[in-house]
Chain A
Amino acid sequence: EFRRFSLERSKPGKFEDFYGLLQHVHKIPNVDVLVGYTDIHGDLLPINNDDNYHKAVSTANPLLRIFIQRKEDADYSAFGTDTMTRKKNVLSNVLRPDNHKKKPHIVISMPQDFRPVSSIIDVDILPETHRRVRLYKYGTDKPLGFYIRDGSSVRVTPHGLEKVPGIFISRLVPGGLAQSTGLLAVNDEVLEVNGIEVSGKSLDQVTDMMIANSRNLIITVRPANQRNNVVRNSRTSGSSGQSTESSLPSSTPNIVTNFMQGEEESDEEDIIIEDSGEPQQIPKATPTSESLESLTQIELLHEPTQNGFLPSSDVNLTHPAGSISMEYEVQDPDHKSLEEDGTVITL
């Protein structure tokens, strides 16, 4: 939730007044909040007395971005140096540097609050009509939230067109992970599950495969709507609504891939409780890398854990002339690739 208002730079007043103003602006008079801001180095610093409040206002250039967190949900460790820079580094690895320059810093919340929920992968090796979607289930309470069914699809074979049985997405549960990614839709044909072809397998088999992989599910689909496909080696993509450019970097940095793998591996670990002690992850005796694909990622979507807007709200404190950042698209400042599919960002 964004609020934008102006302050007299020369007369900032007392912290308490400012605190009251924030509560008023956000209509949360009785909620204890923590206030923080980003300084010129991108560090998230707290505002909790007159001194650092004055410092914050005086250094605002020209926009002062303020973060408000509900006290009980607050993440104190977030404060400190480099929090923002760290984030930026990650992002800048994902995104082309020139995209960065186009826009000023955009506010995002704590990095810990973010985690990938889905991604399109292997674009470079898949046919354009297919889409390989990765759903990250772990850590979230959100259900995967989709159903599959039997159906038939038409294939081109040496003997001409043939009707063959296939597996299709039959329903997306509102609010579920699958729906929220916007990458899967009803009637998409499921072609592979975590690299294993589903042709010749029964609905029950595919169900079991998906559930067995549910913590890190990679589904290759042939989307029912073929208009939103990513077009490789081209600056145009046939997209719905506002057709925009999407020049995809041919060599995507691998840092994200590695980061993801680490997550997956550690999450696969079972948990042991010894002698009724604390639960611990079971270590690997002989580490083996069982990574599936070369994860060339073109999109990476993040989602805050706190879904509600109240607990963490961002305040854009600007001069009257200041520009306004409108969305949470911080995760991906390349707004062109975002707009490529209007539904990608959901919260």
Chain B
Amino acid sequence: MRRFLRPGHDPVRERLKRDLFQFNKTVEHGFPHQPSALGYSPFLRLMAIGTRSGAIKLYGAPGVEFMGLHEENNTVVQIHFIPDQCQLVTLLDDNSLHLWSLKQHSGASELREEHRFTLKGPPGSPPSATQITAVLPHSSREVLYLGTESGNIFVVELPSFRVLEDRSITSEAVLQRVPEDSCNRRSCELVEALREHPKNPDQILIGYSRGLIVLWDLQSNKVTHHFLGSQQLENLYWQRDGSKFVSCHYDGSYTQWPVSSDNRQPEPLENIVPYGPFPCKAISKIYWQTTKNGLPYIIFQGGMPRASYGDRHSISVVHGSQQTAFDFTSRVIDFFIIFSSEPAAEFDDPSAMVVLAEEELVVIDLKTAGWPVVHPPYLASLHCSAITCSHHVSNIPLKLWERIISAGSKQNVHYSNMPWPIDGGTNIAPDPPQRDLLLTGHEDGTVRFWDASGVCLRLLYKLSTVRVFLTDADPNDNMNTLGEDEWPPLRKVGTFDPYSDDPRLGIQKIYLCKYSGYLAVAGTAGQVLVMELNDEDVEHVVDHAEADLLQDQEGYRWKGHEKLKTRDGPVRFEAGFQPFVLVQCQPPAVVTSLALHSEWKLVAFGTSHGFGLFDHQQKRLVFVKCTLHPSDQLALEGPLSRVKSLKKSLRQSFRRIRRSRVSSRKRRGGVGNATEVREANAKFDQDTLQEMELAPVQRKIEARSAEDSFTGFVRTLYFADTFLRDSSRHCPSLWAGTNGGTVYAFSLHVPPAERRMDEPVRADQAKEIQLMHRAPVVSILVLDGRSTPLPEPLEVAHDLSKSPDMQGSHQLLVVSEEQFKVFTLPKVSSKMKLKLTALEGCRVRKATVANFGSCKTDDYSENDLAVLTNLGDIQIISLPFLKLQTRYPCIRKEDVSGIASCVFTKYGQGFYLISPSEFERFSLSTKWLVEPRCIVDMPEVTSNNHVHKSGMENAARKS
């Protein structure tokens, strides 16, 4: 009856729980998924990125970032900062306008939505009459000019969004003064661009899509100049002094127009097709930047020859005789130039170009010769090759930290030294409490080391394992090296490269020992590499061993991929982590578990066939254990035949994931293609829905049996120094847990240090536990006499942990997908259990020990289990009594890849992927909280007292 009773409420414990646990999603790391709009405020020096899911993110100096979400979750189409204000306006694809403000609240700035507005036409007018195509926030900060599809321009007041009807600029009014012959009704269709005169705020330039451009005077409410372009217009750009402007066109040309009071209908100064003479793609945006030396920078997006380079995503920079077409690996969403915003300055003097591509942010230094790339301190493209696994290491010793940074800096020599040009706002968050590393394994065989200490996830170092193997891709086959006379002068930039040379290189498991600098990584084709950190380049032979996990089992046929071919002879490795041992599992199935003991110099690895132990000191295989059930044909044949056994829903979700990946990657042919994919996706979803209605989903209810497939799959490996055989002597041991609910324990004999090379390491099987519920074993842990988890290898030796209590009796904690069970040691008897699945219907996906400190007192902390379930909930379960402490919904249960990607840190934080390119960071602890905290102040504007005053008023109103 006990489980029907409410757990007793202990008020003391309840209060303590409040001091220990708290759930917060603190910050999103990485690159926004499906960005759709870009904005920049030279005044605040902040950049804004909008996404297709309605998010808006602001970035300034490292650590300065804000996020907002439109309730509608619609695509953000345009972002415009209000000049000289802490405000911005977003336009969504449902034609709604939103005003956002940065306001200070309890010492830090916050981004808040203030107003929303949808432009309404007179009753009966078509929707296109009010469909907004161009937005111009006027420098007076009082009004917005809204160009529409109908060609009319509406004026709304800020911040109220009140429509000022008497100030509307109708197409009729514009056409009055245009000569009859060059115009008709249709020439005023669709306002393509609205630009305010840089010197005279009373004049705005209006560009219509048919090619007509007019200069409108706001005071006299009439057209002062006509510019009769013949080509379909894409965009407009004023030159700094307002004497000329540039228009760019659909046919890949741009035109320079003079503006003077003499000629009210001037002819173009020049008309250029930069990549002619063959038909070119549209130039969708152009900048004309003046410099002191007189040669302008002409920077434009697109314009490539249609036939041969039409599929490139390029931005060209022309400066005198220098010309480069930066070639991006994904579609360019938008870009801006950072130039002198000082109104008094005579020239633009551009310093950097910031390009938002669909999958990454690229910043190019325009001041340094060769226009090198600037290394962004944030917005890293986590997914430049798909993430396959991640591993978090807390509290990195300074020595190791510096060595990793120095190895990384040697890799980054080709980056510009320019300080990060987007530097608005002030980061006021306290310094991160410790140095944390997040390691991500990627499909292309690389491991990336990220500084995960603070708000900015920064790439420190990139490790590639490819060099150890012979692959089809020739490293000399470099697409970037183009000769001098190549035309167009394309230069590939960016790191996003989703195409893996060989999927077998993919990294599946990572283990880093922060004390010794040993790193073990394991991959898709059964490869296990042990590496050591070295500060020098080196050329050496990697010791190679094979582990036959099937042992003498006969008659099995592996139908999966072949093992990777190794490079013979010495291999050159750059400074950093250098492999010295390679173990290849046979059959070469994906490595499913990995453990490294840097003190005993042992590495253990497991696949779906069994597990093995390798002595990386003596470079000798200690033993292998086959865990395979003889009837398990599926595991033997390899990954290809697996599909059959997957449940329907799984299959569908995989299909959906795959499709979404395809749709995001293959979107090379521009917008039209993207819509097609989207439609196809929508159709697919509808089809599956109908299918589900016709044949309702059924679930088979069947007990697990020893004969089920993949029972031998090794899920977890664990080294422990504990009492395995008798209670008087403890010894090293290796524990393994399988998918079929079996736990194996081996006692190890590790020779003492002075004889380490002379005597072999021995292993004997000491125990085998079969959990009767046969659920997969997720995690194994030994608790010492004080019920504290055993410390990590070398942790005690470095005085960073108390030595484990070897007096009291040890306990074994086995976490399966369904239950938590505590057993006594050395004689195994069951002590406690928590049957999670039977009670709640959820299953354990991840379980990690985390240390929780009290926010009230410094001297109290405790260890608990942080558990992620298949429903996306996070539960905290006490040790060793296995009592549920608290529970938080964290990830949507449909988000299979998010749940699979989750990692917990040792101090109650965690990360999971919210998209292929973004980690959400969360915290379960009241004490350790990494979240952005920053202030954006109104910069002092001497030239404009009005701005200053209004800023003061704002501040006064707030306080």
In the assembled complex, how far is the CB of residue A210 from the closest CB belonging to chain B, in whole angstroms?
Answer: 5
Measured in the bound complex, the distance between the Cα atoms of B832 and A196 in whole Å is: 21
Q: Is A171 within 8 A of B698, CB to CB?
A: yes
Q: Is A148 within 8 A of B701, CB to CB?
A: yes
A-contacting 9-mer, from B37-45, B439-447, B767-775, B908-916? B767-775
Q: Which residue of B lies closest to A283 (CB)?
A: B829
A274 proximal to B (CB < 8 A): yes
B729 proximal to A (CB < 8 A): no
B-contacting 9-mer, from A138-146, A310-318, A334-342? A138-146
Measured in the bound complex, the distance between the Cα atoms of B843 and A215 in whole Å is: 17
Measured in the bound complex, the distance between the Cα atoms of B830 and A284 in whole Å is: 5
The number of chain A residues touching the other chain, given as a range, is 35 or more
Cβ–Cβ < 8 Å partners of A178 in chain B: 701
The interface bits of chain B over 838-863 (1 if a CB of A lies within 8 angstroms of the residue's CB, else 0) are 11111100000000000000000000
In the assembled complex, how far is the CB of residue A15 from the closest CB belonging to chain B, in whole angstroms?
Answer: 45
Measured in the bound complex, the distance between the Cα atoms of B1 and A290 in whole Å is: 7
**Residue from A151, A213, A215 within 8 A of B696 (CB atoms):** A151
Size of the B side of the interface (Cβ < 8 Å), in residues, is 47
A228 proximal to B (CB < 8 A): no
**Residue from B1, B841, B842 within 8 A of A291 (CB atoms):** B1
Q: Is B698 within 8 A of A148, CB to CB?
A: yes
Measured in the bound complex, the distance between the Cα atoms of B606 and A235 in whole Å is: 63
Q: Which residue of A lies closest to B700 (CB)?
A: A147
Q: Is A147 within 8 A of B701, CB to CB?
A: yes
In the assembled complex, how far is the CB of residue B124 from the closest CB belonging to chain A, in whole angstroms?
Answer: 42
B162 proximal to A (CB < 8 A): no
In the assembled complex, how far is the CB of residue B697 from the closest CB belonging to chain A, in whole angstroms?
Answer: 6
**Residue from B1, B775, B829, B841 within 8 A of A282 (CB atoms):** B829
**Residue from B701, B835, B842 within 8 A of A214 (CB atoms):** B701
Q: Is A272 within 8 A of B702, CB to CB?
A: no
Q: Is A143 within 8 A of B702, CB to CB?
A: yes
The interface bits of chain B over 688-723 (1 if a CB of A lies within 8 angstroms of the residue's CB, else 0) are 000000001111111110000000000000000000
**Residue from A145, A151, A209, A282 within 8 A of B823 (CB atoms):** A282
Question: What secondary structure prevails in chain A residues at the interface with B?
Answer: mixed
A201 proximal to B (CB < 8 A): yes
Measured in the bound complex, the distance between the Cα atoms of B703 and A178 in whole Å is: 12
Q: Is B830 within 8 A of A149, CB to CB?
A: no
The interface bits of chain A over 181-195 (1 if a CB of B lies within 8 angstroms of the residue's CB, else 0) are 000000000000111
Cβ–Cβ < 8 Å partners of A198 in chain B: 841
**Residue from B2, B837, B893 within 8 A of A209 (CB atoms):** B837
The A-contacting residues of B in range 802-849, CB under 8 angstroms, are 818-819, 821, 823-824, 828-832, 835, 837-843
Cβ–Cβ < 8 Å partners of B837 in chain A: 208-209, 211-212
Q: Which residue of B lies closest to A293 (CB)?
A: B1
B478 proximal to A (CB < 8 A): no
Cβ–Cβ < 8 Å partners of A208 in chain B: 818, 837, 841-843, 870
Cβ–Cβ < 8 Å partners of B824 in chain A: 285
Q: Which residue of B lies closest to A171 (CB)?
A: B698
The A-contacting residues of B in range 778-820, CB under 8 angstroms, are 818-819
A282 and B769 in contact, given A144-B702, A205-B842 (Cβ under 8 angstroms) = yes
In the assembled complex, how far is the CB of residue B508 from the closest CB belonging to chain A, in whole angstroms?
Answer: 26
The interface bits of chain A over 282-307 (1 if a CB of B lies within 8 angstroms of the residue's CB, else 0) are 11111000111100000000000000
In the assembled complex, how far is the CB of residue B870 from the closest CB belonging to chain A, in whole angstroms?
Answer: 8
Cβ–Cβ < 8 Å partners of B870 in chain A: 204, 208
Cβ–Cβ < 8 Å partners of B775 in chain A: 212
In the assembled complex, how far is the CB of residue A13 from the closest CB belonging to chain B, in whole angstroms?
Answer: 51
Known: A143-B702, A212-B818, A285-B823. 16 other contacts (CB 8 A): A148-B698, A150-B697, A194-B838, A196-B839, A196-B840, A202-B893, A207-B699, A208-B843, A214-B701, A268-B772, A272-B767, A273-B767, A275-B766, A282-B823, A285-B830, A286-B831
When A and B form their complex, which 7 residue pairs have the shortest distance between CB atoms, in order from nearest? A205-B841, A214-B703, A212-B837, A207-B699, A273-B768, A209-B841, A285-B831
Pick 21 A–B contacts, CB within 8 A, sort by A.
A149-B697, A170-B698, A196-B840, A204-B841, A208-B837, A208-B870, A209-B838, A209-B839, A211-B837, A212-B773, A212-B775, A215-B772, A270-B771, A270-B821, A270-B830, A271-B770, A271-B772, A275-B764, A276-B765, A283-B829, A286-B831
